[in-house]
Structure 1
Amino acid sequence: MAEVHALDDYYLAITLFITIAYQLFFFSIAFTLKFDKLTDFAGGTNFIVLAIITLAFSGHHNARQIVDSLFIMIWGARLSGFLLFRIIKTGKDDRFDDKRDKFFSFLGFWVFQMIWVWTVSLPVTVLNSPNVTKYRQPNFGTGRDIAGVILFVIGFLMESVSDIQKYIFRSKPENKGKVCDVGLFVWTRHPNYFGEIIIQFSIFMIAVSPAAYGYAHGGAYSALYASILGPFFLTLLLMFVSGLPLQERPGAKKRYESGNHWESYLTYTKRTSILIPFPPQLYVHMPTILKRTIFLEFPLYVFDPAKHADQSKVREREAEEGGASSGNEQNHGVQDHA
């Protein structure tokens, strides 16, 4: 089967147009019906659509293309399936409470999702493109291929297992408000993020093999290496935009102001690496400078009660607790007197 040349020889334009159309279709449903259950599903399944289309268009179905395309499809299917299951259980997505009824604010999220899907798909998109498939490739099984497969399996297991562990932990009534410190969360506060980063770099590692082993030249060589923008973009997204910044300091602030297991959370953060898995027995004794550098626990994640807490909320909570405590003491006094 001959390859299909669509707009450009790297499939960049056609995948962008497909992504925009796909996301706008689901956006129209979500906004019109005020329906939250399709948002993350649309993101995850979009990866599957792009991988299938570019692989079908490529006309050259060698093992490397098939494996890399399958990997991103498996990841997208698991991610979208799990998030759909979770939103069905919870009923609505709190992220959109202030956006759901505002056209442009809500659309802004979907535009960002378009950029996320198209950019992260780049390694597979470029690998399946005509300007790469026209070159003879090394047989699948190179050192980079094997390393990529191993990393994918590790990352996929970490992300999948940690999602299940957190869901089970939070679904138990006795764990309401408690810190999830079970399973993989003993080694890192965000094993799902770490697993996702590994997955994307593993897909890039496999995709770049034709260039790394000298089988791609010129523009194809540069395009394969440039597709590292995909895993880098996802890493930056998780570390500086929508991942850790929304989880760490805001989560600590909420716990501190409400007094919700604050001490146990503080103990957990001191002994548990923020992203890179590491034995807690060693991490707790790690110098702060190493935590802030090697282990990526940057100052922007750190919560300082004196700087970041709303002290009025803390005083209100303490006053309520004091009143409740006083009331309990009076009740005990009446019972003792009786």
Structure 2
Amino acid sequence: MATHSPTHVLDDYYLAIALLITVAYQLIGFTIAFTFKFDKITDFMGGSNFVILAIITLSMGGSTHARQIVTSIFLMLWAARLAGFLLFRILKTGKDDRFDDKRDKFLPFLGFWVFQMLWVWTVSLPVTILNSPNVLRVQQPSFGKATDIIGIIIWALAFGLETISDAQKYRFKQGPGKEPGAVCDVGFFKFSRHPNYFAEIMTQVSIYIIAVTPASYGALPSGSGAYAALYASCVGFILLTSLLLFLSGLPLQERPGAKKRYEKGIGWPQYEKYLHDTSILIPMPQAIWRNLPVIVKRTIGCEWPMYVFDPAKHADQSKVHNREAEEGRHESNGDDRNSSEPLN
């Protein structure tokens, strides 16, 4: 059912108009951020872009079918929550350290924004294509299919997990996390070192599961472009997953974080135990993870060798020796002062 016939804009899948909107919106953000050296809008511009695309494509499609509405709302809720949280966090911290070496350099800074354009446009694809004329021109399967129900359940659980784990980590950093060497093992972080990443991936997987229903239930002919386009929109959650696993997420936190703690001697024994006991990504009880064979952890457990920190291979031993020598001098000085004190 539709309030009006889908509006055709540039192509039958809204790919071009979604790209143009994204490029224009992100260039506005880049111009403001670069001109005023202003970090506070970067993540907000990314998150709010998803909301804009969902609203515009849903409106142009003219559909009142539950599936189009639900997937659009799910994307908007996820993006609005993420954008709001990141904006709140940056307002508290004041600046984004990611841009310390880019903020004053036009091309490197622009490169980040171009990549953000690609991220927004690609991850939005399931909703963009589902709302498009080529999908809506056929009779849609009734809402409530198995894929709809499974997708809704996964989305609700993942959205809750991401929201709560972000809040738990933020509260930890504002309290116990201020102590040197503190390990964030509260709440969901007892079951995963990165529950928010796992949840973010699953929210996008769930939206895809719902969005692909017209193709998976035969409403779209298997040889049609719309059929292929819906299935191909899996590139959205694949890109998001790839970013978190191979570029901006785990690679920046796992081995570098362990290396920093080890070299500086900041709570390393506690953190080493946390690494051993806690799943890197997929939430599970520590009793299960710690007893899994290493081969399972290094494969389907996602704790791949690229994340694992080996002090003998990856630590700068000169920094360790210098720290230990400095600590030894402090202890020696302390002993000397104590030995000079009169005995009572």
1:321 to 321, 327, 337: 327
Q: Could you say which residue in structure 2 is the equivalent of 1:292?
A: 298
- 1:102 paired residue among 105, 113, 137: 105
Alignment partners' CA distance in 1, 2:54 and 2:127: 7
Q: What's the counterpart of residue 213 of structure 1?
A: 217
For the residue of structure 1 that corresponds to 2:309, the secondary structure is coil
Q: Confirm or deny that 1:204 pairs with 2:225.
A: no
> CA 1:49 to 1:78, structure 2 compared with 1: closer, same or farther past 3 Å?
same
Aligned to 2:88: 85
* 1:140 aligned onto 2:168: no
Match of 2:318 among 303, 312, 326: 312
Query: What is the rounded CA distance, in whole Å, between the counterparts of 2:176 and 2:255 in structure 1?
Result: 25
Distance 1:176 1:161 in 2: 22
State how far apart, in whole Å, the 1-side matches of 2:173 and 2:280 are.
20
Q: Which sections of structure 2, spanning at least 5 residues, go unmatched?
A: none
Structure 1 residue 194 displacement after superposition: 0.4
Equivalent positions of 1:153-192 (< 5 A) are 153-172=156-175, 175-177=178-180, 178-192=182-196
Give the drift of 1:237. Answer: 1.0
Q: 2:341 is paired with a residue of what secondary structure?
A: helix
Q: Please give the secondary structure, in 2, of the residue aligned with 1:335.
A: coil
2:63 equivalent to 1:56: no
- Aligned equivalents of 2:97, 2:265: Cα separation in 1: 22
CA shift in 2, pair 1:65/1:248, >3 Å = same
Give the secondary structure class of the aligned counterpart of 1:322.
helix
Shift of 1:87: 0.5
In the superposition, the TM-score normalised over structure 1's length comes to 0.98
Give the equivalent residue in structure 2 for 1:127.
Answer: 130
1:265 aligns with 2:268: no
Gaps of 5+ in 1: none
Q: Is residue 177–residue 184 contact of structure 2 (8 Å, CA) maintained in 1?
A: no
CA contact (8 A) 2:130 2:230 kept: yes
CA distance in 1 between counterparts of 2:62 and 2:288 reads 52
Name which of 63, 67, 70 aligns with 2:70: 67
Deviations 1:20-54 (A, max 9, x none): 11111001111111111001001100000000010
Identity %: 62
Amino acid at match of 1:49: I
2:228 corresponds to which letter in structure 1?
S
Aligned length: 338
CA displacement at 1:337 relative to structure 2: 4.4
Question: What is the deviation of 1:335?
Answer: 3.0
Please tell me the residue identity of whatever aligns with 2:220. A
Deviations 1:76-110 (A, max 9, x none): 00000000000010111111111111111111111
Code of the aligned partner of 1:186? K
Three-state SS of the structure 1 residue aligned to 2:340 is helix
TM-score (norm 2): 0.96
Deviation at 1:336, TM superposition (A): 4.7
Q: What amino acid maps onto 1:45 in structure 2?
A: S
- What RMSD over aligned residues (CA atoms) do the two structures have, in Å? 1.1
CA distance in 2, matches of 1:307, 1:174: 28
